[in-house]
Amino acid sequence: MKKINLVPLVAMTVGAAAVLTGCSGSGSAPKDDNTIVIDMWAGSEDDTTALNEQLKIAQEQNPDLKIELRTAPWGDFFTKLTTNMASGNMACVTGMNSGMLSSYTDGFVKLTDEDLKTAGLSKDDFAPGATEILENKGDMYGLPFDVSTMVTYYNEDQLTAAGADLPKAGWSFEDFEATAKKATTGGKYGFGIGMGDFQWQALPIAKSGTQPVTEDGELQIGDSAFTDAAEWYASLVTEQKVAAPVASASDGGWGENQFTSENAAMAVDGTWNAVGYLTNDAGFKAGLAPLPTGANGNLSLVLGSGFGIAETCENKEAALKVMGSLLSKDAQDYVASSGRSYPARAESQPLYFESLDEAYRDQVKAVFDEAFKDVEGQRVSDNWAKVGTFVQPELVSVYNGQADMRTVLETAQKQFSN
C-alpha cells in the first residue's frame, strides 16, 4: 500500500535512541515499574510535532509514569518488531496496522472488556466498525487511533472536458465503466489501475460483496465471486482499454501517480489522502466519491492503525492507562483538529471536517459519511503478508495480458491457505 499519511501517530524519540531494541518492560534493557515504552514507526518533522502534543496529553494524564517512545521507519519497524517479539523484548505499548496484524498476534495481549475499563475506554467510544480494525479471528489485539476506507478520486476538469458524468454516491459499476470509457481520449485514460493491496482489491471487493478472507481468518482469495470481480478489474486494462498497463512491479503507486500526473481521470485510494488530492500540485479541480455500488451492495473495508499491549509487558495496568490516554478524547481531538487523520473516536470526528478548507469541507464530509456507512473490518489470514508479496508483482503480467488473474489468485489460494 502506498504510504502517504495513513497514520498520524508517527514517532519521535524521547530521551532515547530511535531504535526498537531494548524497548520492553522486560528483556535485555529492563525499565523500572514506572516507565512505559511505546514503539511506533517514524515519520516527518510534522509528525514528530504532532506526536509531541499527544505524548504531552498522555504524560499529563499519567503523572506518576515516565513515558518513552522509540521509533523506526515503516519498513524497518516490522523487521525489528519480528526480532523483538521473538526475543520477548516488545515495548509495552506497540503500534500496529490492520493489514500487518496477523503476523504479530502472538506478541499481543487479547484485550478484554476489563482491560478496556482499565484503559478508560469503551467500544462505544469508537466509530462503527473501528474496533474491528485490530481484531483477528474474533479476538481483539488493539484499538485504533485512526480509520480510513477506500474511495474514488476524480479529475473534474478532465471528466467535464470529456463530457463524462461525475462520480457520485450511489453510482453503479455500469456508471463507472461509462465514465472511464468517455474519459479515455486524447492519449489519456479514464482510470489508473491499482497495484497496492488496497488499491487493486477495493473495487473487486465492492463489486463482489466478498472479502478475500473469511470471518474466521481462512483465505478465500480464490472464491469464485471475488475472482470474477478481480478478472473484471484486470479487464479494465486488457479488454476495455480504459487504464494503462503497469510498467514495472516497482511502480507500487502506479494508479495514484497516473491520476496526479493527469494521465488518468480517476483512481481508487484511501481517505487518508483526501486533502492531498483535493489540493494537488498540478492544480486541477479534484473531487471524491464513494466506491461504485455492486449487485450485492457496496462493501468497503475500514482500515487503520492503533496500539496493542505486549504479552511480555510487566506492568500491564500502567500500559493500558497509557494506551487509553493516547486514545482519549483529548488526544483524538488534537488529531482531528490538526486535520492530519480521521480519528477512530466517534465524538472527535466532526473536528476533522472543521479543520478543512471551506472550499471542499462539505464535499469531504458528505463522501466520508456515505463511504463509512457499511464498512467491515479488514480480515487477514495467517499468511496474508505472503499473499500480498506473491500477488503484487504478478499483477504487472496480468495487466499486460501475459498472465491470467484467475490463475494468479487460484495459485495464491493453494499456496497460502492456512
Q: What pLDDT, on a 0 to 100 scale, did the predictor assign at position 212?
A: 97
- What is the distance between the alpha carbons of residues 253 and 121, in angstroms, rounded to a whole number? 36
Residues 6+ apart with CB under 8 A from 322: 36, 38, 58, 62, 65, 67, 92, 93
Q: What is the pTM of this model?
A: 0.89
Strand, coil or helix: 177: helix
| pLDDT of 152 | 98
d(CA 199, CA 205) in angstroms, rounded, equals 11
Q: Could you give the CA distance from residue 2 to residue 376 in angstroms, rounded to a whole number?
A: 21
- C-alpha to C-alpha distance for 95 and 107, rounded to whole angstroms: 12
Which residue in this structure is represented by grid cell 469541507? Answer: 361
Which whole-number Å values give the CA distances from 367 to 147, 351, 360, 363, in the listed order?
A: 14, 16, 11, 6
- Does residue 67 contact residue 58 with C-beta atoms inside 8 Å? yes
What are 416's three cell numbers? Answer: 497460502
What is the predicted pLDDT for the residue at 365? 97
- Do the Cβ atoms of 39 and 31 come closer than 8 Å? no
Indicate the angle between helix axes 384-399 and 197-208, nearest 10 degrees: 90
Nearest to 369 by CA among 106, 70, 169, 102: 169
Query: Residue 181 and residue 252: Cα distance in Å, rounded?
Result: 24
Measure the CA–CA gap between 387 and 385, rounded to whole angstroms. Answer: 5
Residue 297: the pLDDT is 76
Instruction: Using alpha carbons, list the distances in angstroms from residue 49 to 9, 43, 77, 335, 352.
Output: 10, 10, 20, 11, 18
pLDDT at 269: 97
Q: What is the pLDDT of residue 301?
A: 95
Residues contacting 250, CB < 8 A, separation 6+? none
- Residue 32 pLDDT: 63
Is the torsion defined by CA of 274, 276, 282, 284 positive or negative? positive
**First vs last C-alpha separation in the chain:** 23
Virtual CA dihedral for 322, 325, 327, 333, nearest 10 degrees?
A: -150
Digit-by-digit pLDDT tens for the chain (418 residues) are 333 343 333 333 333 333 344 444 443 344 567 899 999 886 667 777 787 788 899 999 999 999 998 878 888 999 999 999 999 999 999 999 998 999 999 999 999 999 999 999 999 999 999 999 999 999 999 999 999 999 999 999 999 999 999 999 999 999 999 999 999 999 999 999 999 999 999 999 999 999 999 999 999 999 999 999 999 999 999 999 999 999 999 999 999 999 999 999 999 999 999 999 999 999 999 999 999 998 887 899 999 999 999 999 999 999 999 999 999 999 999 999 998 899 999 999 999 999 999 999 999 999 999 999 989 999 999 999 899 999 999 999 999 999 999 999 999 999 999 6
| Residue labelled with grid coordinates 471536517 | 353
Do residues 284 and 158 lie in contact, with contact meaning Cβ atoms separated by under 8 Å? Answer: yes
State the Cα–Cα distance between residues 252 and 140, nearest whole angstrom: 30
Q: What residue ranges in 295-390 does DSSP mark as E strands?
A: 300-302, 305-309, 375-377
